[in-house]
Amino acid sequence: MDSLHVDLLVIGFGKGGKTLAARMGAAGHRVALVEQSSQMYGGTCINIGCVPTKALIHHAQSRRPGEEARDGLRTAVGATATLTEALRDRNFAMLDEIDSVTVITGRARFLDEKSVEVSAGSDRLVVTAPTIVINTGAEPVVPDVPGLRSSAHTRTSTDLIRATELPARLIVVGGGYLGLEFAGMYARFGSRVTVLEAGPRLLPREDADVAEATAGTLRDEGVVFVTDARVVRVTDEDGHAVVHYRVGAREHVVDADAVLVATGRRPATAGLDLAAAGVRTTATGAIEVDEHLRTSRPHIFAVGDVNGGPQFTYISLDDSRVVADQLLGSGTRTTADREAVPYTLFTTPPLSRVGMTEREAREAGHEVLVAAKPVARIAAMPRAKIVGETRGLMKFVIDAATDRILGAALLSVDSQELINTVALAMRHGVTAGELRDTIYTHPSSTEAFNEVLGAARR
């Protein structure tokens, strides 16, 4: 059996792993990066996650009036596939251009704490390294509901981003962030979409007014929501699926041409044989790490979704910085250094959030000021009217004693950009008053802050 010894072995071509591999390789270290599929060079984000889903959402938003729905989806899927292929090639080239970095395609499993076997067909290679980084990401969870896994019509998000046939009736099981993004996207492409959410309301982490405003924009697109809905079984009949669900004691049925399972993702560790390396996992299946992202074996790190942290590609990127500081720097950087990490739900318009909700701030004992306005009533935001998207609302939660921004929810055009400005202000102690009185370009979405933050009330 062939063998290879390197200074650093990275398992998984995700954002954190590839960034760390490139940085270590550029510093002259011998690096091997193992990825199980050539179709996943670059990781989840560019291949089956952020990039393709957001590209499809963009195409759905850009669909021309009168355009045949099925043609619109086919065109969008084709253009998205071309984009992801180009990004995948570029990601491979980024590492291949570094002489000391070797990309190996195959499945990895630990033999012991410093040895990993990589298999591809009948070929076997043993890679040894004093430092190993696991970056294998996460995978969709399909609940153990009778008939759901075996149905010919069950789909994951990975399936749908590649499907060129538009389902006339789409059932989305799960009203979380992924489910709502796909619900809005497919409604715009022309599907009749029903979302079955097990909880009593959508987006329970958000304030009720923000959650309802977000749901309202999706209802505008024709999405139907059923809350307190527990799916009990799925059957296939006459070329379609029948989804049986309960609300309270009453059972209902709904027909579907496709059933999207959007009930979460779990760390992808199957087949790694972590026990052979002595790497512990948590009760949820994530690899257990400390604040420096070291596992129960200090020379083995876990970065990105596989360590159970927030499932964002930019968190994976920051994970790589923490590990790089351990390997090349002072070793002082930790995951505890993170403040005001924002996130965006790419509905139309997008919902972007950072920090505390109003509910969380009050429960934490803050005396709170709330500055909020519907986008349609913000006179100082003509951009919303220019682009024809005046739905949504902006809401800031402010500490009354210090004027510090505790959190913000921005449901508006450009919110995915605006939220970064708010997060930066929060990290550096810029007050609500300072953000309110700053000079912004015109016409822009940011200038809405001048008006909204002037409306603070108890």
- Give per-residue pLDDT as tens, 231-274: 999 999 999 999 999 999 999 999 999 999 999 999 999 999 99
Q: What is the helix (H) or strand (E) element at residue 104, kind and residue range?
A: strand 101-105
Question: What is the per-residue pLDDT across 104-117, written as a single tens digit (0 to 9) for each?
Answer: 999 999 999 999 99
Residue 144 falls inside a structural domain: no
* Judgement on whether residues 17 and 160 belong to the same structural domain of the protein: no
List the one residue out of 351, 267, 360, 354 whose CA is nearest residue 309.
267
How far is residue 128's CA from residue 112's CA, in Å, rounded to a whole number? 9
Structure tokens at 125: 């290679």
Residue 247 falls inside a structural domain: yes
The residue count of the chain comes to 458
* Judgement on whether residues 25 and 37 belong to the same structural domain of the protein: yes
- Counting Cα atoms < 13 Å in the Cβ hemisphere of 320 gives 20
Average pLDDT, whole number, for the chain?
94
Domain interval for residue 174? 154-263
* Judgement on whether residues 80 and 193 belong to the same structural domain of the protein: no
Question: What is the per-residue pLDDT across 54-104, written as a single tens digit (0 to 9) for each?
Answer: 888 888 888 766 677 677 888 888 999 999 999 998 988 889 899 999 999
| Domain count across the chain | 3
* Judgement on whether residues 352 and 324 belong to the same structural domain of the protein: no
Residue 145 falls inside a structural domain: no
Mark which of 297, 315, 337 sits at the end of a domain.
337
| Secondary structure percentages of the chain, helix, strand, coil, to 5 | 35, 30, 40
Yes or no: say if 100 and 80 are a contact pair by the CB < 8 Å rule: no
Yes or no: say if 221 and 348 are a contact pair by the CB < 8 Å rule: yes
List the one residue out of 89, 4, 14 whose CA is nearest residue 44.
14
The percent of residues in the chain predicted with pLDDT above 90, rounded, is 86
Question: What is the per-residue pLDDT across 135-192, written as a single tens digit (0 to 9) for each?
Answer: 999 999 999 999 999 999 999 999 999 999 999 999 999 999 999 999 999 999 999 9
Mark which of 221, 237, 263 sits at the end of a domain.
263
| pLDDT at site 33 | 97
* Judgement on whether residues 59 and 188 belong to the same structural domain of the protein: no
* Judgement on whether residues 355 and 413 belong to the same structural domain of the protein: yes
| pLDDT at site 46 | 85
| pLDDT at site 245 | 97
Yes or no: say if 410 and 438 are a contact pair by the CB < 8 Å rule: no
How far is residue 258's CA from residue 242's CA, in Å, rounded to a whole number? 10
* Judgement on whether residues 309 and 327 belong to the same structural domain of the protein: yes
Answer positive or negative: Cα dihedral of 152, 154, 159, 161: positive
* Judgement on whether residues 276 and 254 belong to the same structural domain of the protein: no
* Judgement on whether residues 241 and 178 belong to the same structural domain of the protein: yes
Mark which of 263, 278, 306 sits at the end of a domain.
263
- Scan for tokens 């180009």, then name that residue: 86
How far is residue 326's CA from residue 446's CA, in Å, rounded to a whole number? 38
List the one residue out of 424, 457, 454, 421 whose CA is nearest residue 436.
454
| pLDDT at site 42 | 85
442 in active site: yes
How far is residue 191's CA from residue 302's CA, in Å, rounded to a whole number? 39
- Counting Cα atoms < 13 Å in the Cβ hemisphere of 156 gives 13
* Judgement on whether residues 131 and 14 belong to the same structural domain of the protein: yes
Query: What CATH number is given to the structural domain containing 402?
Result: 3.30.390.30
Residue 148 falls inside a structural domain: no
Yes or no: say if 317 and 309 are a contact pair by the CB < 8 Å rule: no
Structure tokens at 109: 């499993």
Average pLDDT estimate for 411-421? 98
Answer positive or negative: Cα dihedral of 240, 246, 247, 249: positive
Q: What single-letter DSSP state applies at residue 160?
A: H
How far is residue 51's CA from residue 140's CA, in Å, rounded to a whole number? 17
Residue of 244, 252, 366, 442 marked active site: 442
Q: Where does the pLDDT of residue 14 fall: very low under 50, low under 70, confident under 90, or very high at 90 and above?
A: very high
| pLDDT at site 1 | 67
| pLDDT at site 66 | 66
Phi-psi region of 457 (alpha: psi -120 to 50; beta: other; left: phi over 0): beta
